[in-house]
A and B are shown apart, each in its own frame.
Chain A
Amino acid sequence: MNAHDTTIATAVTTAEEMLSVSNVTLRFGGVTAIQDISFDILKGEIRAIIGPNGAGKTSMLNVINGFYHPQEGTIRFRGETRRRMKPYEAAASGIARTFQNVALFTGMSTLDNIMSGRSLKMKRNFLTQMLYYGPARDEEIEHRQKVEEIIDFLEIAHIRRQPVGKLPYGLQKRVELGRALALEPDLLLLDEPMAGMNLEEKEDMSRFIVDVNQQFGTTIALIEHDMGVVMDLADRVVVLDYGKKIADGSPEEVQASQEVIDAYLGVPH
């Protein structure tokens, strides 16, 4: 009955490809948000996407999880070239995400929010779920167990029953991460997980991201503005600027690139 001994899937960054984006171009009318971008995400790694405001980072995530459909280029996920896909289909295939602005059901409790992340995994029909009978009940218990593991993992037991709208921002971000984890994703997309947080919250969040990567072996792609965080967390970094890729490599390489420095600090024209 020693609940805290979790089985550990050790994360090993292999050369195996999880997802690759090749020559993707995304336009909104006359505006080109992403222009001919290619990069890959390896299994088990933490991949950061950085760039100044308006560089196309969030658009890139939206392309990956099927919310936007690029006009040109292909996306390969787990070795298969992906056809045009709806976000929920992407979710069912193992891609989960969090949002730049917290997007939770504010009137619902932490528990219910995270439970909602399991809905794709529930097989019983609406009627038996409503009657809470037999297989539907067993299913619910099984899912609840998984959710409790996540609650425990993220240390949010004390807010289990509280409506998330009343929680401080840092905790809401954590609940959102919990909901994404409930999907047991292979690939987790985090859109600015640390935006607007104070130092302590950032450190907590960083620790959770590393722990998710190591303990569940989840591959993570994250957008982040805080360079310190990116340099500490990421295995590899891709840098975008005005919809173009300007650098790709280890944090050290990217930091040394003149183009990246120019993009962030600006160059006299």
Chain B
Amino acid sequence: MSASQASSALANKNSADGLDTFPKLLLLNAQRFADRPAMRHKDFGIWQTWTWAEMAREAERFSLGLAKLGFAKGDRMAIVGSNRPRLYWSFTAAQALGGVPVPVYADSVAEEMVYVLQHAEVRFAVVQDQEQVDKLLSIKDQLPQLEYIIYDWDRGLQDYDEEGLTSFKAVQTLGSDPTAEEKAAWLAGIEAGRGEDLSVMLYTSGTTGKPKGVMLSFDNMVISSRNANAFDKFDENEEIIAYLPLAWVGDHVFSYGQAFVAGYCVCCPESPDTVTENRREIAPTYFFAPPRVFEGLLTDVMVRMEDASKLKQKMFHAFLAHANKVGGRILDGESVGLWDKLKYKLGEFLVYGPLKNRLGMTRMKVGYTAGEAIGPEIFRFYRSLGLNLKQLYGQTEASVYITAQPDGQISADTVGTPSPDVEIDVAENGEILYRSPGVFMGYYKNDEATADTKNAEGWVKTGDAGFIDGDGHLRIIDRAKDVGRLNNGSMFPPKYIENKLKFFPNIKEAVAIGNGRDYVAVMLNIDLQPVANWAERNNIAYASYQELANHPQVYDMMASHVDQVNRDLSQEERVAGAQIARFLVLHKELDADDGELTRTMKVRRTLINDRYTPLIEALYDGSKEKFVETEVVFEDGRKGKISATVQIRDAQVYPPEAMKEAAE
């Protein structure tokens, strides 16, 4: 019996025991893990803890209060805010009444939110604080269905007397002492819940077009969570830190689904700004992050080391070099020489241990990265420290898991083998298809899009192009629709080029252009932290991001990175034609508030193409510089303009033949 069959049998067994919804799981956990921690939140500088029994009571009171306000089966409830216990309880509270939580990205500006809230026809909204209340009130006249706004934190809200605005606590008070009938009705409502019911609607951030509401059933969520827990052997002893947006499927599965199924503890940071520090205090046993977080942490460590004493720097780099040599092999259980092993032990004591402590990864059993390609160097760095960092490939439509790397079969450029119960296929055009118990029910009120994505047999198109390599591991090349051709016919995979650029710590974002053009050109964003640090050490004065980005020496630095990428590309037969001929450094950071990135920080290609048309034209008309004016949206929603003269440089392109000759 293969591993996937075994876990599939397990999943079936568990759904047969009637534990097929989250409210049911909560009630069970309140008994079997009554005194174990379910949730922590750092507040007033202290980690406050709720046990499963306490958490169940909190959720129950809120749920009963909601029922009194008239929240009924089938109602939708928007949840807006950062990772806070009460917002997580709102999910279960709504689900217990047969309602559907709809988490919304908290940093969306009001106009972005209108669409989702209208589309989902929400009647209730549970929000974090005054900022979100103000946002909702500003769009309330466009949301006739919205009746109640319930806030978690009351600061600044004393003078608000809008109808339907009430606090979380007040709703809990409403539900705090139910009659026997009310309580019985509530329990009966939970009992009546079925695995095939709609459990949550998650709006995809949408790199193109309007967001779509992905409907996931309890079965989707519970079975996927069960399988994932079995795959990585998670139990009630795990502790994770919840810091990714509630509206993102990853957080919903890791911090909600898997936590409820396994009974492990979810810790909410004090504020989004304190995540790194809070992670160090908690030292999660399971940690998920998109590559940019791992990159950010590494950059931070390296920048700090630059300021350390010479002796420390020497020790740090010597042991890191050693870890780079043998660390990965030790982690994969391969044998290494005795001397290397001893030296690694010493390194663990002197460098790796303290470093892992700093990163909050001392207790990490498993770490995952997904969402984007991770730089091989970054990946190797973490693994060489003895951290079991793995890659997975997932989608909202799949309840996350499509493929994941099993322990010991790790590589930087694959995303692993199919997850338990998942079937994978590659279509003729190279697009990856999958079928699994996690496959979504459909897009809300959008049958057309559902039919486009999911066929009658349950196969779903990922929209990504890739192939399965000799070892049965999946490799992703690019978004299927993004892969284009240059005018001379050579293949142009934009993301592939952008990722190579973004692996340099100094480059934060890159946008490659080339489809239907004569050559490839890129627009770069510098990463302020490392570049500013470098500027400080090299006595380069600058007054603003814009000035630094436009500095000739920064351009020289970028030119050397582009050159390195071109050398790499020239060695790969399939993409040698896609070398970068011209580049520029953008005068502003690409920003989600300006719509240039999605809320999950993915580049919105078409929008950028429209927005920076003058710059793109300049990249192809041979000019050396170009004056542009760009509209920007500030965090409070106001608009302004920034202008700059952007330089454009040529890069050297290497002929692939020359490299072949050199190799012969």
Identify the A interface with B (CB < 8 A).
Answer: 1-6, 8, 10, 144-145, 148-149, 151-153, 155, 157-158, 160-161, 199-200, 203, 207, 210-211, 214-215
| Known interface pairs A4-B43, A148-B45, A160-B45; A203-B636 also in contact (CB < 8 Å) | yes
Q: A1-B50, A200-B636 are in contact. Are A157 and B155 (CB under 8 A)?
A: no
A149 with B44: CB separation less than 8 A? yes
| Chain A residues, CB < 8 A from B271 | 155, 157-158
CB distance from A203 to the nearest CB of B (A): 7
Residue contacts A-B, CB under 8 angstroms, 22 given: A1-B50, A3-B44, A4-B152, A4-B154, A8-B154, A8-B158, A144-B45, A145-B44, A148-B46, A149-B44, A152-B44, A155-B271, A157-B45, A157-B270, A157-B271, A157-B273, A157-B274, A158-B274, A161-B277, A203-B636, A210-B156, A211-B156
In the bound assembly, the distance between CA atoms of A70 and B159 in angstroms comes to 39
Cβ–Cβ < 8 Å partners of B277 in chain A: 158, 161
Q: With A3-B43, A145-B44, A215-B156 given, name 12 new contacts (CB 8 A).
A: A1-B50, A8-B154, A148-B44, A148-B45, A151-B45, A157-B273, A158-B270, A158-B277, A161-B277, A199-B634, A211-B156, A215-B155
A contact residues around B156 at 8 Å (CB) = 207, 210-211, 214-215
- In the complex, whether B153 has a CB less than 8 A from a CB of chain A is yes
In the complex the two chains form, is A158's CB within 8 Å of B48's CB?
no
Interface residues of B toward A: which range? Answer: 20 to 34
Most buried by B among A4, A8, A144, A200: A4
Task: Check if B169 sits within 8 Å of A2, measured CB to CB.
Answer: yes
B635 adjacent to chain A (CB < 8 Å): yes
Closest chain B CB from A206 CB (angstroms): 11
Whether B158 pairs with A214 at a CB distance below 8 angstroms is: yes
A153 and B271 alpha carbons, distance in the complex (Å)? 12
In the complex, the 3 A-B pairs of residues with the closest C-beta atoms, listed nearest first: A158-B273, A148-B44, A3-B43
> Which residues from A are CB-within-8-Å of B270?
157-158
Task: Check B636 against A152 for contact (C-beta < 8 Å).
Answer: no
Distance in angstroms from B438 CB to nearest chain A CB is 34
Once the chains are docked, how many angstroms separate the CA of A220 from the CA of B48? 34
CA distance A5 to B45 in the complex (A): 16
Find chain A residues with CB under 8 A from B635 CB. Answer: 200
A200 to B152, CA, bound (A): 24
**Is A3 touching B158 in the complex (CB atoms < 8 A)?**
no
Q: In whole angstroms, what is the CA distance A12 to B159 when docked?
A: 11
Question: What is the bound-complex CA distance between A207 and B636, given in angstroms?
Answer: 13
**B199: min CB distance to chain A, Å:** 26
Q: How far is the CA of A144 from the CA of B158 in the complex (A)?
A: 25
A contact residues around B48 at 8 Å (CB): 1, 3
Q: In whole angstroms, what is the CA distance A2 to B155 when docked?
A: 14
Closest A residue to B41 using CB positions: A3
Complex: A148 Cα to B86 Cα, angstroms: 20
Q: Determine chain A's interface SS by DSSP, over half rule.
A: helix
The smallest beta-carbon distance between A201 and chain B, in angstroms, is 12
Contact partner of B155 (CB less than 8 A), chosen from A145, A153, A160, A200, is A153
Complex-state Cα separation, A151 to B45, whole angstroms? 9
B404 to chain A, nearest CB (A): 33
Q: Give the chain A neighbours of B44 by CB distance below 8 A.
A: 3, 145, 148-149, 151-152
Most buried by B among A5, A149, A160, A161: A5
Task: Note all chain B residues with C-beta closer than 8 A to A200.
Answer: 634-636
Contacting residues, chain B, for A155 (C-beta < 8 A): 271
Instruction: Render B135-158 as a binary contact track against A, CB cut-off 8 A, 1 for contact.
Output: 000000000000000001111101
- Return chain A residues, CB-CB under 8 Å to B169: 2, 5
Pairwise interchain contact A215-B274, C-beta atoms closer than 8 A: no
Within 614-662 of B, Cβ neighbours of A (below 8 Å) are at 634-636
> Which residue from chain B places its CB closest to the CB of A203 in the assembled complex?
B636
User: What separation, in Å, do the CA atoms of A158 and B154 have in the docked complex?
Assistant: 20
Closest to B46 in A: A148
CB pair B153 A4 closer than 8 Å = yes
The docked-state distance in angstroms from the alpha carbon of A214 to that of B158 is 8
CA distance A4 to B154 in the complex (A): 7
Q: How far is the CA of A158 from the CA of B86 in the complex (A)?
A: 21
> What is the CB-to-nearest-CB distance from B126 to chain A, in angstroms, rounded to a whole number?
14
Report B-chain residues with C-beta under 8 Å of the C-beta of A152: 43-44
**Which chain B residues border A203 with CB–CB below 8 Å?**
636
**Whose C-beta in chain B lies nearest to the C-beta of A10?**
B158
| Smallest CB separation, B83 vs chain A (Å) | 14
For B155, what are the chain A residues with a Cβ–Cβ distance below 8 Å? 4, 6, 153, 211, 215
Select from chain B the residue with minimum beta-carbon distance to A155. Answer: B271
In whole angstroms, what is the CA distance A207 to B169 when docked? 24
**Residues 145-190 of B at the A interface (beta carbon under 8 Å):** 152-156, 158-159, 167, 169
CB distance from A215 to the nearest CB of B (A): 7
List of B residues within 8 angstroms of A149 by Cβ: 44
Contacts of B46 in A (CB 8 A): 148
Chain A residues in 8 Å Cβ range of B159? 214
In the bound complex, residues from chain A placing their C-beta under 8 Å from that of B50 are 1
* Complex Cα–Cα for A149 and B167 (A): 19
Q: How far, in whole Å, are A144 and B45 apart by their CA atoms in the complex?
A: 9
Residues of chain B from 253 to 294 with CB closer than 8 A to chain A in the complex: 270-271, 273-274, 277
A51 CB to nearest B CB, Å: 30
Output the least CB separation between A110 and chain B (Å).
11
A4 cross-chain contacts in B, Cβ below 8 A: 43, 152-155
C-alpha gap A152/B271 in the complex (Å): 10
Residues of chain B lying within 8 A (CB to CB) of residue A153: 155
Query: Nearest-CB distance from B241 to chain A (Å)?
Result: 15
The residue that A215 contacts in the complex, of B45, B158, B634, with Cβ under 8 A, is: B158
Q: Whose C-beta in chain A lies nearest to the C-beta of B45?
A: A148
Nearest chain-B residue to A158 (Cβ)?
B273
Q: Cα distance A152–B270 when bound, in Å?
A: 9
Name the distance in Å between B65's Cβ and chain A's nearest Cβ: 14
Complex Cα gap A199–B46 (Å): 33
The minimal Cβ–Cβ distance linking A139 to chain B, given in whole angstroms, is 17
CB distance from B223 to the nearest CB of A (A): 33
CA distance A5 to B173 in the complex (A): 13
Q: Which residue of A lies closest to B168 (CB)?
A: A2
- Shortest Cβ gap from B435 to chain A (Å): 44
Closest Cβ of chain B to A220, distance in Å, is 15
Residue of A nearest to B272 (CB): A158
The answer to whether A6 and B154 touch (CB under 8 A), given A1-B50, A157-B271, is yes
Quick one: which of B81-119 are within 8 Å of A by CB?
86
Task: State in angstroms the CA–CA spacing of A157 and B273 once bound together.
Answer: 8
Chain B 27-50 interface mask (CB, 8 Å, partner A; 1/0): 000000000000000011110101
* Shortest CB distance A198–B (Å): 10
Bound complex: CA A200 to CA B635 (Å)? 8
Q: In the bound complex, how far is the Cα of B159 from the Cα of A49, in angstroms? A: 25
A155–B272 Cα distance when bound, in Å, is 11
Chain A neighbourhood of B158, CB < 8 A: 8, 10, 214-215
Q: Which chain B residues lie closer than 8 Å to A145 at the CB level?
A: 44
